[in-house]
């Protein structure tokens, strides 16, 4: 379990600020995503088109009105989580979402975007009602829920993979890759669906 939590990879010279391996992995992952998207845009644009259409349909099924303004955020969120969760399968790389700071940051971004879209749609009337205190409690609880759900699923996946590897060393790598791929896509989808529902709550009547 020592490898589950992030460690300091290096210190920034002169200011002595620690940079953890989860941050380094995130930088590498962002570069991979940009290169991959550019490559798909040039050689397989149909794949990008299918992904965008999928996100549009997802947004349309939850959020009232035109879904197009929400697609960049929801699509980026889904892609980030999917790639981040799978990154640990690459040798020498760390899964960023195994560091609880990453799921917490994603949950805070989710909260900020839901409030942004809500204020954009309703103005500050979003907070001007008698039950606003319950809204504040809900914002806090769902931020914690998003954080712990993503972090807990990653840790649980690590434990399951370790058990499978101990029980079935023959063919275990293939099983692990398949399970990780399925879990990665499912977690990215669930996290994005929850964000779509939170935005729908903020902008809806």
List the domain boundaries for the chain: 8-203
Q: How far is the C-alpha of 16 from the C-alpha of 18, rounded, in Å?
A: 6
Give the pair of three-digit tokens for residue 32.
Answer: 């991979």
Q: Is 12 helix (H, G, I), strand (E, B) or coil?
A: strand
Q: How far is the C-alpha of 59 from the C-alpha of 193, rounded, in Å?
A: 8
| 102 contacts 84 by C-beta, under 8 angstroms | yes
The pLDDT score that the predictor gives to residue 2 is 44
C-beta atoms surrounding 42 within 10 Å:
8
With a threshold of 0.85, does the pTM exceed it? yes
pLDDT < 70 regions, the chain: 1-5, 162, 168-174, 177
Q: How far is the C-alpha of 27 from the C-alpha of 80, rounded, in Å?
A: 11
Q: How far apart are the first and last CA of the chain?
A: 46
The pLDDT score that the predictor gives to residue 1 is 43
């Amino acid at each position: 379990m020592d490898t589950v939590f992030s460690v300091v990879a290096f210190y920034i010279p002169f200011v002595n600020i620690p940079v953890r391996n989860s941050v380094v992995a995130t930088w590498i992952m962002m570069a991979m995503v940009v290169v991959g998207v550019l490559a798909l845009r040039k050689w397989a644009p149909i794949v990008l088109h299918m992904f965008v259409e999928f996100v549009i349909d997802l947004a349309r099924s939850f959020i009232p009105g035109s879904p197009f303004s929400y697609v960049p955020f929801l699509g980026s969120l889904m892609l980030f989580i999917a790639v981040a969760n799978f990154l640990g399968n690459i040798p020498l790389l760390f899964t960023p979402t195994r560091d609880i700071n990453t799921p917490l940051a994603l949950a805070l971004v989710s909260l900020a975007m839901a409030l942004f879209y809500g204020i954009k749609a309703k103005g500050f009337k979003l907070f001007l009602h008698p039950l606003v205190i319950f809204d504040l409690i809900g914002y806090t609880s769902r931020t914690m829920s998003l954080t712990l759900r993503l972090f807990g699923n990653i840790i649980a996946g690590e434990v399951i993979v370790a058990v499978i590897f101990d029980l079935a060393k023959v063919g275990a790598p293939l099983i692990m890759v398949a399970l990780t791929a399925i879990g990665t896509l499912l977690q990215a989808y669930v996290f994005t669906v929850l964000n779509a529902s939170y935005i729908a709550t903020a902008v809806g009547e």
